Chain A
Amino acid sequence: MATILVVEDNPRNLKLAAFLLRKEGHEVLEAADARAGIELARRYRPPLVLMDIQLAGTDGLSAARTLKSDPFLSNSKVYALTALAMKGDEENIRAAGCDGYIAKPIRYREFLQTVAAALSSGDGAPTSQQSE
């Protein structure tokens, strides 16, 4: 079981993600905006951050970039959890530095599978991202 940070400005969607993750036995850190999210990430260094992209204030993409360029967070994966689900969105989001992509609306089984997969391959994060 792992610590997972969810950065999500929609309280209901935050509640859903947190519920599902806790149901799986994970410890969940909740942040309603990018700034709070970055702060929590730096303090707790969670192996996985689920990041909403369209956030008020600092958007999720630049927050993801900030986290990915932080040398103390090299073991944290950042997955986009976003309603930007049109063709090309995933490519753009991955190109911006996110390690994974989950489209809303989520189906909880897939969501949990993706989370599990992200955590299980967590020790050996791709070298390309570490050598940045």
Chain B
Amino acid sequence: MKQTALPAEKELDPAAASLWYPQAMEQLVEVVQRLSMARDLATVMDIVRKAARNLTGADGATFVLRDGNKCFYAEEDAISPLWKGQRFPMNICISGWVMLNRAPAVIEDIYADPRIPADAYRPTFVRSLAMVPIRTMDPIGAIGNYWAQPHNPTAQQVKLLQALADTTAVAMENVRIYEELEQRVRERTSEVSAILDNVQVGIVFVRDGHAVRANRKAAEIFGLDSSNVLLGRSRGQLFWVEDGSSAILRDAQSSFSAGKVFDAEVRLLRRDQSKFWAHLVAKTLEAEASPGSEIWMVDDISVAKERESLLTEMKLAAEESTRFKSEFLASMSHELRTPLNAIIGFSEVMRDGLVGELDDKQHEYICDIFDSGQHLLSLINDVLDLSKIEAGKMVLEAEETDVGHLLSSSLTIVKEKSLAHHIALHSEIPESLGMSWLDPRKVKQIVYNLLSNAVKFTPEGGEVTLRASVVDHRQAMAPSANLPEVRMPWPGGADRFLQISVSDTGIGISPEDMARLFQPFVQIDSRLSRQFEGTGLGLALVRKLAELHGGSVAVASQIGRGSRFTVWLPYRTTMGDEENFSSIGLGAKAPSWPDGRSPHVLVVEDNDLAADLIRLQLEADDCRVMRAASAEAALSMLDEGPLPDLISLDILLPGMDGWELLARIKEDRRSSDIPVVIISILADSGKGLSLGAAEVLQKPVLSEDLNNALKRMGVDRRGATGQRAAALVIDDDRNVVEIISSHLRKADIDALSAYGGADGIRLAQEHIPDLIILDLMMPELSGFEVVEALKLRPETADIPILILTAKALTREDRRQLNGHVRLIMEKSEFSHGGFISEVRRALGSKWKKAPAGK
């Protein structure tokens, strides 16, 4: 824009002077317009200094800015240089005066005005000046006009100059605000950029289908050096899929149309053809604020996707291997059972004499084959049980269970073994356990496993204790006080638990082994497994079975101090009072007697001849006979098979004797109502000294008991010859022999000691004692065998024998057992008629005569 300098007003003629004002106003208006567009101070100053000179026709104009307490001559436009760039104290220069006094100053002769330090103007052309403040209220600067010749501007000119200064003030304020805004925008922009460039997700702003802004991460994800490379690309080019389909954009568009956020995981292709998994999230921005705009967020999830697919693969592989394992186990089960069938089957028929009598060695070896076959079978069953639980295929068959009964019947299974190993079996089972909701078969399996382990790992003379109680959660969680303990994860869930523990005084377990003990398919210790026969799966099974119940297990042990295994099972009582339970129990347990069915009789008899005899008699009377050659076999038949209607029982049996068997039959609710007929060998009955009539003493033997027994047996302190009587004590436990011998000596009876059956027989033959005190359970030669041997020799056959047993049969027990026994028959007096009539009496009203002539 061109500005022409106006001539000084007073130099004009009146006509020209009248023309000056409108021209000046026009210039001022133009300046105002130009100032309104000025965005910075330099422009403002440039416009103003020229306009100021032109408006008044001055020889020079200055633009002075207040700078603290100084005046800064920022710009000038003059015929020769003035003070541009210089600063003067406010109190010594006229611009300072103008600002301080907030009033214009007009000085025709600067050398005549006291406000002017004359020296300041000497180097300049200035003779006259007019100075106006910028922003009169609170001046921020001043505009000066200078003339070389003495000049007195008109009031109108000064007013106009002041108007220019006022406009300048507004312009300067605008510039300040504008700069401040710009600064703020810069700050905000850099903040947003910092966020965008540091955020760990790619962000692309799209307008009208093309990227207009993208952050660093987006560039990185798309494999580009700079986000600028992304700009201008279409969405189709950015979100490029392998097959070139536009499914992503279509889906995104339909999400947008529905007002939804587009969210998808897709496999994208980079420019360099490399592929990656992207998580895309896109939405449209508000139409009013930014029409046609979308924001796309991109995340590279390749790593997560890879991990996910790896997991899926691993899971499939695991399922595959589980399936394979379960198929393998099924076929293993079949393939092992097939040869076992012949092994167990043939050895059993041989053992039982179905193919003829065997001699002792043959019988022993056949029993070994049979037992090994059975062991192998239990191994297979353990493995299968475990794998079934692992595969989640085993189902809990819970029912109301009499806990105390279940536990004590579990205890009887290991009684025999603990007896044989001279291990004292204790139980602390309170009566108050009552009924709980359990799977009785599996709990029995748990308890049996723990007990048989304890017996197996406890040396002779040790103790095994079965304890049970009902505890709350806090009690169950209480740590073991006296032994280091390892617990399996606690399932929670129940308020009360049945706590079953089995403690032993065995060899103990090291801390390292304790931690691995309950792991499935981990043999604890190969040294142990060689030393102690077992499947090595028992404890894993115990744990799994407990967990199946919603319970847990723990072991507390220390080498040399024994072990304690504890199982917690949720204790859930059910509705109904005790009477209900007992009546249900009785109803279910009472033997049924269907019409027309032949009664089943279980004959427990180790002697084949005797058994055949009994069988003949019974079968002739239309009974169906099952025979058990030992108490153990009888128990397992009672356990596994159908219950018989009658049991005939021999007392002298190998292993567990008839008394013990009777006790167990009466102990077990299933069989307690079955009538029992006892058929006992009373050989040499005239002497009254056979086993059937022998006293039974329980260890530990008190001297009083012994004396009473001796009296009852008619053995006095004096022997038959009038000399001191002598007794032979045969027991493999030296302590017992010592104690009894000392009792005998106190009673003035000489005592001979033998620590084994063979020794005993030899001593008996050498010394012919007046009495033999004999332990039944001895290694090598058992007490039964000793008796047999003694009876074979005429010189020892008449010696009375006192049987000593550690069986938990108290005298009271015996009395009670006798109440269950219908008859004790001597085999020598065995007759068809008498026997059968007794059987009929025993069966009572349940007896139904079988249809004649089958």
Contacts and interface: CB of A to CB of B under 8 A. Distances in A.
A107 B334 CA distance: 16
Given A86-B384, A105-B377, A110-B641, A16 B346 contact: yes
Interface stretch (B15-23, B313-321, B337-345): B337-345
B629 to A, nearest CB: 11
Nearest to A110: B641
B122 interface: no
B343 A105 contact: yes
Given A20-B349, A105-B373, A109-B626, A84 B334 contact: yes
A110 B640 CA distance: 10
A113 B637 CA distance: 12
A109 B637 contact: yes
A107 B342 CA distance: 10
A96 interface: no
Contacts of B337: 83, 85, 103-105
A28 B53 CA distance: 142
Given A86-B333, A105-B373, A110-B641, A13 B341 contact: yes
Contacts of B247: none
A83 B381 CA distance: 13
Nearest to B329: A86
Given A83-B333, A86-B330, A87-B393, A108 B338 contact: no
Contacts of B340: 104-105
A107 B348 CA distance: 8
Interface size classification for chain B = 20 to 34
A104 B388 CA distance: 19
Interface string B628-649: 0000000001001100000000
Contacts of A107: 344-345, 348
A19 B352 CA distance: 14
Interface in A67-118: 83-87, 103-110, 113
Nearest to A20: B349
Given A16-B345, A105-B345, A107-B348, A10 B338 contact: yes
A23 interface: yes
B621 to A, nearest CB: 17
A23 B377 contact: no
A104 B338 contact: yes
B597 to A, nearest CB: 10
Contacts of B335: 83
A54 interface: yes
Contacts of B640: 110
Nearest to A10: B338
Given A85-B337, A87-B393, A108 B345 contact: yes
B354 interface: yes
Contacts of A23: 349, 354
Which of B337, B340, B373 has the most C-beta atoms of chain A within 10 angstroms of its own C-beta?
A: B337
Nearest to B346: A16
Interface in A1-31: 10, 12-13, 15-16, 19-20, 23
A85 B333 contact: yes
A87 B338 contact: no
A83 B626 contact: no
A109 B335 CA distance: 23
Contacts of A103: 337
A83 B349 contact: no
Given A83-B334, A105-B373, A109-B626, A16 B342 contact: yes
Nearest to B633: A109
A103 B336 CA distance: 13
Interface in B377-414: 377, 384, 388, 393-394
Contacts of B627: 109
B349 A104 contact: no
A104 B341 contact: yes
B473 to A, nearest CB: 33
Contacts of A85: 333-334, 337
Contacts of B348: 107-108
Given A23-B354, A86-B330, A87-B388, A106 B641 contact: no
A10 B348 CA distance: 19
Interface of B: 330, 333-346, 348-349, 354, 373, 377, 384, 388, 393-394, 626-627, 637, 640-641
18 contacts: A10-B338, A10-B342, A16-B349, A54-B334, A83-B334, A86-B330, A87-B394, A103-B337, A104-B337, A105-B337, A105-B340, A105-B343, A107-B344, A108-B349, A109-B626, A109-B637, A109-B641, A113-B626
The 9 lowest CB-CB distance pairs between A and B, nearest first, are A83-B337, A104-B341, A12-B342, A105-B341, A105-B344, A105-B340, A16-B345, A83-B334, A83-B338
Given A16-B341, A104-B341, 17 more contacts: A10-B338, A13-B341, A16-B342, A20-B349, A83-B341, A84-B334, A85-B337, A87-B388, A104-B337, A105-B337, A105-B345, A105-B377, A107-B345, A108-B349, A109-B637, A110-B641, A113-B626
